[in-house]
């Protein structure tokens, strides 16, 4: 198997890489880029712990090959904060204690980023519909929903 | 309550907030060591079989393979079996496999893919044995014995009224019995009712799988584990591998949830043994399917015989519980003890006789699961209480109130008193569910009080608090942070006592070489048991600082206070404030100093208490549900779910709420749909994460309310109790009780599927009125 040359953007930085055709995106991020915020939970694209944004769309990185990000822009949870200044979504998750064990948190935060990029003012039903694509086994979701509602409000205040 | 608290009781940001929202929190799965190999295991495809031939010769030659582990590769002087009380689980199969998923052999290779490819070259010849995939099948006289030779076992010891027995019969690894009161009480009852219940089995579904990284290249063993009890793990590894505990280091960072499953050995023994064989560090990380095959909740059959007076007074109860322990004992004896012991519920009785058996079946081993036997017991006892109330024409609220234990009243002879006002909690959930409002057609409301003894039995905890030169503090303790927020809560306790802002108290992750011994993070013991050790350590460290300062300032300790790293002498505007740093360096010199103190707590041992240690605190979960039942399809819609616990005092209310939410929704999933489905052939039919269904955000009841009570009667710091398990307990029974209220049928088996409800409705329609009160003696 010869490697595939790809070029893409990772958290705002241009990147080139040669990846094996069977290398999963999540393994590429975790093992080759040392970006371990994307977590492997179910390996079936169900739980969403490995969610990253590819061209703004949330995808399960366990169910995508690394070569599929050629020419794309990838955002991982590590790309959200600006130094110690958290993204409003991250800050909302902190303020609402919207995580417990933290294993699903990267995915939930990125899912929320994508949701808020499409719906600046999502109603509760829309939030629940979006969040239902990822699993959190700890929180019972209420505090995550509260964080998303709060993040939406903060984001509207930031973006005129 | 203490009104002057500054830090305890505040919704401070979690200690782990920044690392968790930035993706920096390190879990065992993230640990990578130089030269690390990757392990995969071959799992049995047979539910019960002898291994006639195991040929790994081709696998040993496969690309990238560095070590192959079969039973024959384990040095003879090791003790290659483990378990809590019964050492029955082999690291890899010895002569037989006992369930689909049992580990046959293991391979360490340069990559997981190479290890997996090599496993495909392993040849195994099995000779099938008769199998028993259910409790009934395993108890059948003709059933094959899963353990023809009795494994080594240690009996737990008990106090007044309680006893245990190893292998009382074939395929029962343990039996717990508890008896108290007057056996003739049944004779005086107006009515005696017998009812049976079935409890389904869930997979913990912790998102971080079982994982361990082991480095055993030298005569030391170092392990990075996703594990809830690092010190018991160290001890078990020392026993297995015949090394001194002082030669083993266990590291535990963040744990991606456990819910009970990550106790004792899981991935660790395979990783250690492969590392010894390969002389390289080895990572063994399971998949989610493998995790489901490694540890599960206990399915159960529960039979209750309850004698009452016609006014609803509870008199006597006899119970038999059969827990499905799966193929290896794991924590089953302990779960049996708790399921049996909790069957009376928080009520007054004249007689209790309870018996709980752990039945070995050819299915995945069952172990601790949030609620720990209390979930099973509450499902049966709170369901039956409503059934009895309706048979007697007594309101389900009234039957609870007239029989419930009062604040401070002993649960059983020799036990500690109930430390929650049960009626206060029940009234609260009644009010939120609108219990007294009239019912609409096909709608009903149900109540339940979940109950368990919390804090563990004879559990000891230690902690160390170090106050640094400038007054900052470090808390060294071994409670595992697995989401429950223990690091945050405990640093808030330290901050409160040292009057130090929360951000000046740190709590590093666990390394067994450097943190004081602790028994483990389970039984909701963090705040009520470890909390007392932390509190004592913080008070001790504060005292040492003040004694030092008194010497420097030539005054009495009693004149001084420590406030935000400053020594305060006197009060009011004339108070003298001396920063600690210059005082310390003035005496000890430039490098400064640390004032360190250890704290210890252990519940008193008392043989009059049935479990030999009066319960540290009682964990109560009040539940109320409103449902709407579609009589055409049996579909149950939970319109509103109310769950409430009593933390005594919430050290961090937001975190406490998260615990109550999460536990209640786990209980809700189990009530409505979540379960592991086993075939009679021992196959786990819904193991794939694509089809195993856990609650999603969209599954939440239309209205979901949790209320944290702070009644103030807890034994922990500032009146706190443990939390995190209470609200899983009452959910299923509250919903079943609401269904009977709505449509007059009783569901006695979980989950409450539309099929079961519809079948019950059809049975009701087919039977003449009056037949519903079966089994009356």
Instruction: For residue B97, give Cα distances in angstroms to A64, B52, B81, B103, B150.
Output: 36, 11, 14, 8, 16
Residue of A nearest to B724 (CA): A138
Are B29 and A94 inside 8 Å of each other by CB? no
Residue of A nearest to B728 (CA): A140
Does position A1 have pLDDT exceeding 90, yes or no?
no
Are B658 and A49 inside 8 Å of each other by CB? no
Average pLDDT over residues A34-49: 98
Using CA atoms, how far apart are residues B281 and B274, in angstroms rounded to an integer? 8
* Structure tokens belonging to residue B232: 């018991």
* Structure tokens belonging to residue B628: 């709407």
Same-domain pairing of A115 and A154? yes
Give the CB-side neighbour count of residue B609, counting CA atoms within 13 A. 18
Phi, then psi, of B354 in degrees rounded to 5: -130, 145
pLDDT at A45: 96
- Residue A147, min C-alpha distance to chain B (Å): 12
- Residue A17, min C-alpha distance to chain B (Å): 20
Same-domain pairing of A71 and A121? no
Same-domain pairing of A61 and A92? no
Compare CB distances from B23 to A44, A77, A140 and report the shortest one's residue.
A77
- Residue B694, min C-alpha distance to chain A (Å): 8
Which CATH class for the B17-25+459-602 domain? alpha beta
Instruction: For residue B298, give Cα distances in angstroms to B42, B166, B476, B663.
Output: 25, 18, 34, 17
Residue of B nearest to A45 (CA): B690
Chain B contact for A38, CB < 8 A?
yes
Q: How confident is the model at residue A157 (pLDDT cuts 50, 70, 90)?
A: confident
pLDDT at B743: 98
**DSSP secondary structure string, B295-327?**
-BPPPEEEEEEEEE-TTS-EEEEEEEEEEEEES
Torsion sign across C-alpha atoms B692, B696, B698, B702: positive
Three-class SS state of A57? strand
Are A128 and B207 inside 8 Å of each other by CB? no
Using CA atoms, how far apart are residues B715 and B527, in angstroms rounded to an integer? 9
Residue of A nearest to B653 (CA): A97
A48 and A115 in contact (C-beta within 8 Å)?
no
Q: How many CB atoms lie within 10 A of CB A14?
A: 9
Residue of B nearest to A38 (CA): B23
pLDDT at B603: 87
Q: How many domains does chain A have?
A: 2
Same-domain pairing of A105 and A142? yes
Bridge partner residues of B181 (DSSP): B351
The one-character DSSP state at B404 is: B
pLDDT digits (tens, 9 = 90+) for A125-146: 999 999 999 999 999 999 999 9
Q: Which residues of B touch A38 (CB under 8 A)?
A: 23
Three-class SS state of B602? strand
Are A103 and B654 inside 8 Å of each other by CB? no
pLDDT at B103: 98
Chain B contact for A7, CB < 8 A?
no
Same-domain pairing of A75 and A93? no
pLDDT at B777: 43
Is this structure's pTM higher than 0.90?
A: yes
Same-domain pairing of A71 and A9? yes
Q: Which residue has the tokens 């204690």?
A: A97
pLDDT at B772: 44
Rounded to 10 deg, the angle between the A105-118 and A142-158 helix axes is 50
CATH of the domain at A111: 1.10.150.120
Count of A–B CB contacts within 8 Å? 167
Domain boundary among A58, A79, A100: A79
Are B698 and A132 inside 8 Å of each other by CB? yes
The one-character DSSP state at B416 is: P
> From the candidates A44, A48, A103, which should be mutated to test the interface with B, based on the most B CB atoms within 10 A?
A103
Residue of A nearest to B654 (CA): A97
The one-character DSSP state at B528 is: I
Kindly list the averaged pLDDT for each block of 10 residues, start to end, along chain B of length 777: 81 97 98 98 98 98 98 97 97 98 98 98 98 98 97 95 98 98 97 98 98 97 98 98 98 98 97 98 98 98 98 98 98 98 98 98 98 98 98 98 98 96 98 97 98 93 98 98 98 98 96 96 95 98 98 97 97 93 98 98 93 96 98 98 98 98 98 98 96 97 98 97 97 98 98 98 84 45
Are A37 and B655 inside 8 Å of each other by CB? no
Three-class SS state of B9? coil
Same-domain pairing of A57 and A92? no
B393 and B190 in contact (C-beta within 8 Å)?
no
The one-character DSSP state at B749 is: B
* Structure tokens belonging to residue B512: 């067994």
Radius of gyration of chain A (CA): 16
Q: Which residues of A touch B25 (CB under 8 A)?
A: 102
B336 burial (CB, 10 Å; 0-12 / 13-18 / 19+) is buried
A12 burial (CB, 10 Å; 0-12 / 13-18 / 19+) is exposed
Interacting residues of A40 by C-beta distance below 8 A, sequence separation 6+ = A26, A30, A49, A50, A62, B29, B209
Compare CB distances from B257 to A43, A103, A143 and report the shortest one's residue.
A103
- Strand ordering across the sheet containing B162-169: B162-169, B172-181, B351-360, B314-326, B300-308, B191-199
Using CA atoms, how far apart are residues B556 and B539, in angstroms rounded to an integer? 17
* Structure tokens belonging to residue B493: 């306790």
Q: How many CB atoms lie within 10 A of CB B552?
A: 15
CATH topology of domain B31-129+208-256+262-292: Aldehyde Oxidoreductase; domain 3 (3.90.1170)
Per-residue exposure over A79-98, b if at least 16 CB sit within 10 Å of its own CB, e if not: bbbeeeebbbbbbbbbbbbb
Per-residue exposure over A38-59, b if at least 16 CB sit within 10 Å of its own CB, e if not: bbbbbbbbbbbbbbbbbeeebb
Instruction: Show the beta-strand stretches assigned E in B98-151.
Output: 103-109, 123-128
Peptide bond preceding B751 in cis form (omega within 30 of 0)? yes
For chain B, the straight-line distance linking the first and the last C-alpha, in angstroms and rounded, comes to 50
CATH of the domain at A61: 3.10.20.30
Same-domain pairing of A13 and A74? yes
Using CA atoms, how far apart are residues B735 and B747, in angstroms rounded to an integer? 10
Using CA atoms, how far apart are residues B466 and B488, in angstroms rounded to an integer? 17
Interacting residues of B499 by C-beta distance below 8 A, sequence separation 6+ = B6, B561, B562, B563, B564
Three-class SS state of B40? strand
Domain boundary among A79, A110, A125: A79
> From the candidates B16, B17, B21, which should be mutated to test the interface with A, based on the most A CB atoms within 10 A?
B21
A 55-74 near B (Cβ less than 8 A)? none
- Architecture label for domain B300-456+608-766: 2-Layer Sandwich (3.30)
B170 burial (CB, 10 Å; 0-12 / 13-18 / 19+) is middle
Interacting residues of A10 by C-beta distance below 8 A, sequence separation 6+ = A33, A35, A74, A76, A79
- Residue A137, min C-alpha distance to chain B (Å): 7
> From the candidates B14, B23, B26, B481, which should be mutated to test the interface with A, based on the most A CB atoms within 10 A?
B23
- Residue B255, min C-alpha distance to chain A (Å): 7
The residue segments making up the domain with residue A51 are 4-79
Three-class SS state of B396? helix
Domains of chain B, residue spans: 17-25+459-602, 31-129+208-256+262-292, 300-456+608-766
**DSSP secondary structure string, B503-514?**
GGEE---EETTT
pLDDT at A156: 83
Are A143 and B24 inside 8 Å of each other by CB? no
Q: Which residues of B touch A36 (CB under 8 A)?
A: 23, 26, 30
Same-domain pairing of A9 and A73? yes
Chain B contact for A109, CB < 8 A?
yes
B304 and B186 in contact (C-beta within 8 Å)?
no
- Residue A150, min C-alpha distance to chain B (Å): 15
- Answer whether B17-25+459-602 and B31-129+208-256+262-292 agree in fold: no
pLDDT digits (tens, 9 = 90+) for B517-545: 999 999 999 999 999 999 999 999 999 99
Phi, then psi, of A103 in degrees rounded to 5: -70, -30
Rounded to 10 deg, the angle between the B731-743 and B653-672 helix axes is 50
- Please determine, for the modelled complex, whether the ipTM score is greater than 0.95: yes
Are B654 and A102 inside 8 Å of each other by CB? no
């Amino acid at each position: 198997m010869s490697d595939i040359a790809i070029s893409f953007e990772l958290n705002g930085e241009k990147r080139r890489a040669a990846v094996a055709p069977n290398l999963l995106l999540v393994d590429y991020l975790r093992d080759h880029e040392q970006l371990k915020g994307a977590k492997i939970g179910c390996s079936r694209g169900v739980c969403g712990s490995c969610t990253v944004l590819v061209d703004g769309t949330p995808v399960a990185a366990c169910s995508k090959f690394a070569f599929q990000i050629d020419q794309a822009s990838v955002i991982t949870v590590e790309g959200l904060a600006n130094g110690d200044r958290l993204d409003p979504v991250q800050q909302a998750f902190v303020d609402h204690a919207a995580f417990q064990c933290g294993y699903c948190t990267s995915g939930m935060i990125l899912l929320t980023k994508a949701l808020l990029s499409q719906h600046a003012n999502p109603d509760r039903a829309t939030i629940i519909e979006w969040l239902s694509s990822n699993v959190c086994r700890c929180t019972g979701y209420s505090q995550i929903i509260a964080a998303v509602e709060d993040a939406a409000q903060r984001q509207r205040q930031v973006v005129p | 309550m203490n009104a002057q608290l500054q830090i305890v009781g505040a919704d401070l940001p979690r200690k782990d907030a920044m690392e968790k929202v930035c993706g920096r929190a390190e879990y065992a799965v993230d640990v990578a060591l130089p030269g690390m190999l990757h392990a995969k295991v071959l799992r049995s495809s047979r539910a019960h079989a002898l291994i006639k031939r195991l040929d790994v010769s081709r696998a040993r030659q496969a690309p990238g393979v560095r070590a192959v582990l079969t039973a024959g590769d384990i040095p003879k002087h090791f003790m290659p079996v483990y378990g809590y009380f019964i050492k029955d689980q082999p690291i890899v199969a010895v002569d037989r496999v006992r369930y689909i998923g049992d580990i046959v052999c293991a391979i360490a290779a340069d990559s997981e893919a190479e290890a997996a490819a090599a496993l495909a070259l392993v040849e195994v010849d099995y000779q099938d044995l008769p199998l028993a995939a259910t409790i009934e099948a395993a108890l059948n006289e003709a059933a094959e014995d899963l353990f023809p030779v009795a494994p080594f076992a240690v009996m737990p010891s008990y106090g007044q009224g309680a006893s245990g027995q190893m292998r009382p019969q074939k395929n029962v690894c343990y039996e717990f019995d508890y008896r108290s009161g007057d056996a003739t009480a049944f004779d005086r009852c107006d009515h005696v009712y017998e009812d049976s219940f079935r409890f389904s089995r869930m997979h913990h579904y912790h998102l971080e799988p079982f994982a361990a990284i082991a480095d055993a290249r030298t005569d030391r063993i170092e392990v990075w584990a996703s594990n809830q009890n690092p010190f018991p793990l160290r001890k078990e590894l020392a026993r297995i591998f015949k090394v001194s505990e002082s030669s083993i280091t266990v590291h535990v960072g963040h744990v991606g949830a456990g819910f009970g499953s990550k106790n004792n050995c899981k991935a660790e023994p395979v990783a250690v043994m492969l590392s010894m064989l390969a002389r390289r560090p080895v990572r063994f990380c399971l998949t989610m399917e493998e995790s489901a095959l490694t540890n599960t909740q206990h399915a159960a059959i529960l039979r209750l015989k309850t004698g009452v007076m016609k006014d609803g007074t509870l008199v006597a109860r006899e119970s038999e519980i059969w827990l499905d322990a799966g193929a290896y004992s794991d924590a089953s004896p302990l779960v049996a003890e708790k399921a049996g012991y909790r069957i009376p519920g928080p009520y007054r009785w004249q007689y209790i006789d309870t018996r709980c058996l752990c039945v070995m079946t050819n299915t995945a081993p069952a172990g601790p699961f949030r609620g720990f036997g209390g979930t099973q017991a509450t499902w049966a006892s709170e369901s039956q209480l409503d059934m009895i109330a309706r048979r007697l024409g007594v309101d389900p609220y009234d039957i609870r109130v007239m029989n419930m234990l009062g604040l401070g009243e002993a649960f059983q002879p020799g036990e500690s008193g109930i430390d929650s006002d049960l009626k206060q909690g029940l009234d609260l959930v009644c009010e939120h569910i609108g219990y007294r409002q009239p019912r609409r057609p096909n709608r009903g409301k149900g109540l339940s009080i979940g109950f368990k003894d919390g804090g563990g039995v004879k559990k000891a905890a230690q902690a160390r608090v170090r106050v640094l030169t400038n007054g900052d503090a470090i808390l060294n303790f071994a409670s595992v942070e697995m989401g429950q927020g223990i690091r945050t809560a405990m640093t808030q306790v330290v901050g409160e006592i040292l009057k130090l802002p929360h951000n000046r108290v740190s709590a590093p992750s666990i390394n067994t070489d450097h943190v004081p011994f602790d028994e483990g993070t389970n039984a909701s013991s963090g705040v009520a048991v470890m909390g007392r050790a932390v509190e004592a350590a913080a008070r001790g460290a504060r005292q040492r600082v003040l004694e030092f300062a008194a010497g420097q300032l030539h005054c009495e300790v009693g004149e001084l206070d420590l406030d935000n790293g400053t020594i305060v002498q006197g009060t009011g505007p004339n108070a003298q404030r001396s920063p600690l740093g210059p005082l310390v360096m003035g005496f000890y010199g430039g490098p400064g100093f640390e004032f360190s103190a250890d704290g210890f707590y252990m519940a008193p041992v008392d043989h009059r208490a049935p479990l030999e240690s009066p319960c540290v605190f009682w964990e109560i979960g009040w539940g109320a549900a409103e449902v709407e039942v579609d009589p055409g399809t049996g579909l149950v819609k939970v319109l509103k779910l109310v769950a409430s616990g009593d933390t005594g005092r919430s050290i961090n209310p937001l975190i406490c709420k998260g615990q109550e939410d999460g536990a209640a929704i786990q209980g809700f999933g189990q009530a409505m749909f979540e379960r592991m489905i086993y075939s009679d052939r021992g196959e786990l039919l819904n193991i794939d994460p694509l089809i195993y269904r856990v609650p999603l955000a969209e599954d939440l009841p239309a209205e979901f309310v949790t209320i944290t009570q702070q009644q103030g009667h807890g034994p922990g710091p500032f009146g706190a109790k443990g939390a995190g398990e209470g609200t899983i307990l009452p959910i299923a029974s509250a919903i079943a009780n609401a269904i009977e209220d709505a449509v007059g049928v009783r569901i006695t088996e979980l989950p409450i599927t539309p099929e079961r409800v519809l079948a019950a409705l059809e049975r009701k329609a087919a039977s003449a009125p009056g037949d519903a009160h079966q089994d009356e003696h």
